[in-house]
Structure 1
């Protein structure tokens, strides 16, 4: 057949609909032909040969054909990426069969649906029916979050496995020092077995990661298409895209959710026999212990639903008053049970009280530099002191009057402080090899029965908090960009590293016992599960967020920053 239009030059091509008007039916047959006509009903450019079908089929005779020069290009500028083309016949989708709930081209309508009772033109019904295409976008966003959680969890699992292997080797070395003859061979033996197990496990994780990255790419591409159609497409285009992409979106969401349900925490540990006897056989034939690989399925716990949303409630700029020498620097904040906020200003040696609207309602000068504060009861606050071995107690009345209550002398320098129970604190140290300790309300000091790393933190380089329900201690390492979660009952830990965790400072326990951490460098609050999984990240309108606290009913959080520019305090409503 002779082509009515001329060939298109190779260098005139570009993806999607072509900028130069090309016959689209020919294009679907891998032919490049200049278009002569435009059908506004088909929404297609066609050459003379292809447009002649309008004169042959009665059902197409009412279509509006105009020359290319007369075509309204603006009406077809949106790229549908072939979503409006019939997969079977490569014709434009023009009809919808209400009996079978299917999109049809003109050929479909004549050949496959002539016995159906209701085949209507899409153009007539598209504007009358509300299309839930935005719902597809929401589902894709949720699936994207799950896929990103899978990626973060895999990265965290790799780091955790490496940490577990290191801890096994440290444990083995400690025992080897006591019984050198037996344990010289043991370290090499276990390390080899662990290496094999680690290699096999990492291979499996890499396969899962590759599959997840493909899903994430597909989700991102589909989401971009959905959002573009929702924003720029016509009602017809939205209607078509909804029906064309529904199956693909459902399949993607189903596959990603299945992967998410299969997420597992990976744990390698080494347990020695209860009764260790010197064997008569060479150590190569006898291993006094067992290498364990523990897998815990996370699919039963829907961590995605634990992710929180923050809605700003109030914001105040912290400025010095006429009586203050320096700009305020709030090194700690905490909620009183009635919703008021207590803050300590390290620069100006003050304790302040704010109401629920963040209006200052009380203030008291202090004879020392306050570091961290925690609300002990309805009218009592405990404060750690800089460079002094003391914990101070203040009485904060319902009328916002503040006065000194008592002082407890201690033997360790303490920085961060939080409640362990109604009689004890969990306190973070500085210039001390034990990073966290227990202090009673009367000043008695104890150590946790946990093998914390032998690392001494300087002031302001670490903070801690405590999860009462599971007996876990959380420690932030600001300059190692790491959050550690220590399980006191099992003497194990989870190491949390992520691109979003940069210079972690203050930490607090949030809804569902999740962990909220201020990240100075990324200007965010990140939310982490007890198992070390990244749940959410919220970008803050402040530089260097420094301290965070949570109200008693877990419905509000407050954040204060620490920078040389504008210091702020913000309050947010929590929703899940």
Structure 2
């Protein structure tokens, strides 16, 4: 509702200011039109806070010109306990001229008198002006605000994961392009078209994956924005003692808390291919005259790359990598080895009780991590995490290469565990005494 004498630019400025900071007191007439504007005065007669514009209009209007109004400096004279307002003011979205006054617990629906008459005649409904009495000081309000905070934190964490995934997929795409380009230098010019096809394939994968990530980010941002808006609205309704509106807001908040959007977004992110590398076509290295695909984009996140059975004609040595370091106390005894990506592999040095991270490109030990017992085998779980069996401690240690080698968690298995493998979100662990295989669901573990 427009106020006489108020310019549009002034209104926009006031709203912008209200969204940029929190006020101790907001103009209550303006709150009815969803505008948070700082209070300039307080009408003792109407028991309402007023902004500068509403204050001036209050002074001029015949009905209210003789009301007692306190200025901002005298707000401390206002009684700390004001009578709660149980009146509902929000209009029904279906029946535009009716006010929302009822809530149906069976259908979790807010509605006006017409809504209840037409759609909830047999339901046991709550009359909001009666039901909202004392709600601002109740446990239900605290629970809703706490759950909104938890939902906000969850959305922020998933958003952080999605942003990290975006960085990783771009890094892997750069590695793919580099591998494709290097391989291309070793073959004849007639492979140009095949090279173009492979690059387009990699670019398409990056594009499609980024679209999924962007969808997750948009979901998180929308949830964060919606929760912040709900929190602000609930806080405003409580501070202005609008218990009816507070009740309505809390019920809306409960619907938001029950939403599965965030969980669906996280599941989408978890099941989206994030780890790719370029795998050379070995036949092209010896048979350049035969037309075939330039290479494959291998999905390491699922560990389900298609294997083609073929006869091995010969094995070509590519050189040795010295994995012994100056801090080793005895000769190396490598019992486990797994490839993390196209540039790194991780080793289990049993005798030296270490995990070693190897740079394939530089052919040297890039980093090492000392353990409290002897490691045996390694299984890569994701682009930066892997599991290590520790037979002496009867446990599995999950480690990460994020920033540096470090232990993420320990999983007790109460058996001497040796061999380990990872597939489709599960760890398969071969154990001794008694001989058995343990299957662990990593989603439950995390």
Q: Normalising to structure 2: TM-score of the pair?
A: 0.52
The equivalent residue for 1:270 is 280
The equivalent residue for 2:221 is 217
The equivalent residue for 2:154 is 142
Partner-residue secondary structure (3-state), 1:130: helix
Matched, 1:102 2:109: yes
Q: Of residues 197, 211, 220 in structure 2, which corresponds to 1:207?
A: 211
In the alignment, is the contact (CA less than 8 A) between 1:271 and 1:290 conserved in 2?
yes
1:148 to 1:204, Cα distance in 2 relative to 1, 3 A: same
Offset of residue 230 of structure 1: 8.2
Q: Of residues 276, 279, 291 in structure 1, which corresponds to 2:295?
A: 291
C-alpha separation between the residues in 1 aligned to 2:324 and 2:300? 43
Which protein is richer in strand relative to its size?
1
Partner-residue secondary structure (3-state), 1:264: coil
Offset of residue 241 of structure 1: 3.2
Structure 2 stretches of 5 or more lacking a match? 59-66, 83-87, 303-322, 338-343, 415-444
Matched, 1:259 2:263: no
C-alpha separation between the residues in 1 aligned to 2:104 and 2:378? 57
In the alignment, is the contact (CA less than 8 A) between 2:184 and 2:195 conserved in 1?
no
Offset of residue 256 of structure 1: 1.9
Partner-residue secondary structure (3-state), 1:515: strand
Matched, 1:453 2:350: no
C-alpha separation between the residues in 2 aligned to 1:230 and 1:508? 49
Matched, 1:15 2:18: yes
Question: Cα deviation per residue 1:361-384 (whole Å; 9 max; x = unaligned)?
Answer: xxxxxxxxxxxxxxxxxxxxxxx9
1:238 to 1:27, Cα distance in 2 relative to 1, 3 A: closer
Offset of residue 264 of structure 1: 1.6
The equivalent residue for 1:60 is none
Offset of residue 157 of structure 1: 1.9
Partner-residue secondary structure (3-state), 2:133: helix
In the alignment, is the contact (CA less than 8 A) between 2:384 and 2:402 conserved in 1?
no
Offset of residue 197 of structure 1: 1.7
C-alpha separation between the residues in 2 aligned to 1:170 and 1:508? 33
C-alpha separation between the residues in 1 aligned to 2:211 and 2:26? 43
In the alignment, is the contact (CA less than 8 A) between 1:147 and 1:256 conserved in 2?
no
Matched, 1:192 2:199: no
The equivalent residue for 2:432 is none
Matched, 1:241 2:249: yes
C-alpha separation between the residues in 1 aligned to 2:327 and 2:363? 21
Partner-residue secondary structure (3-state), 2:140: coil
Q: Normalising to structure 1: TM-score of the pair?
A: 0.42
Partner-residue secondary structure (3-state), 1:23: helix
Within a 5 Å distance, the mapping from 1:115-194 to structure 2 comes to 118-121=126-129, 122-124=131-133, 126=135, 130-131=140-141, 132-133=143-144, 134-170=146-182, 176=186, 183-185=187-189, 188-194=192-198
Offset of residue 160 of structure 1: 1.8
Partner-residue secondary structure (3-state), 1:243: helix
Question: Cα deviation per residue 1:82-110 (whole Å; 9 max; x = unaligned)?
Answer: x9844635998665455654345xxx24x
Within a 5 Å distance, the mapping from 1:13-92 to structure 2 comes to 14-15=17-18, 21=27, 23-24=29-30, 27=33, 69=70, 85-86=90-91, 88=93
Question: Cα deviation per residue 1:392-431 (whole Å; 9 max; x = unaligned)?
Answer: xxxxxxxxxxxxxxxxxx4xxx7xxxx86xxx588xxxxx
Question: Cα deviation per residue 1:325-355 (whole Å; 9 max; x = unaligned)?
Answer: xxxxxxxxxxxxxxxxxxxxxxxxxxxxxxx
The equivalent residue for 1:569 is none
1:224 to 1:186, Cα distance in 2 relative to 1, 3 A: farther
Higher RCO, 1 vs 2 (CA within 8 Å, ≥6 residues apart): 1
1:38 to 1:386, Cα distance in 2 relative to 1, 3 A: same
In the alignment, is the contact (CA less than 8 A) between 1:276 and 1:288 conserved in 2?
no
1:26 to 1:207, Cα distance in 2 relative to 1, 3 A: same
Superposition CA RMSD, Å: 6.0
Offset of residue 215 of structure 1: 2.4
C-alpha separation between the residues in 1 aligned to 2:211 and 2:336? 45
Partner-residue secondary structure (3-state), 1:514: strand
Partner-residue secondary structure (3-state), 1:293: strand
Offset of residue 454 of structure 1: 2.5
Question: Cα deviation per residue 1:283-339 (whole Å; 9 max; x = unaligned)?
Answer: xxx5345522345786xxxxxxxxxxxxxxxxxxxxxxxxxxxxxxxxxxxxxxxxx
Aligned residues: 337
In the alignment, is the contact (CA less than 8 A) between 2:281 and 2:294 conserved in 1?
yes
The equivalent residue for 1:363 is none
Partner-residue secondary structure (3-state), 2:280: strand
In the alignment, is the contact (CA less than 8 A) between 1:99 and 1:118 conserved in 2?
no
Within a 5 Å distance, the mapping from 1:461-476 to structure 2 comes to 462-463=368-369, 471-472=379-380
The equivalent residue for 2:63 is none
In the alignment, is the contact (CA less than 8 A) between 1:147 and 1:260 conserved in 2?
no
In the alignment, is the contact (CA less than 8 A) between 1:215 and 1:252 conserved in 2?
yes
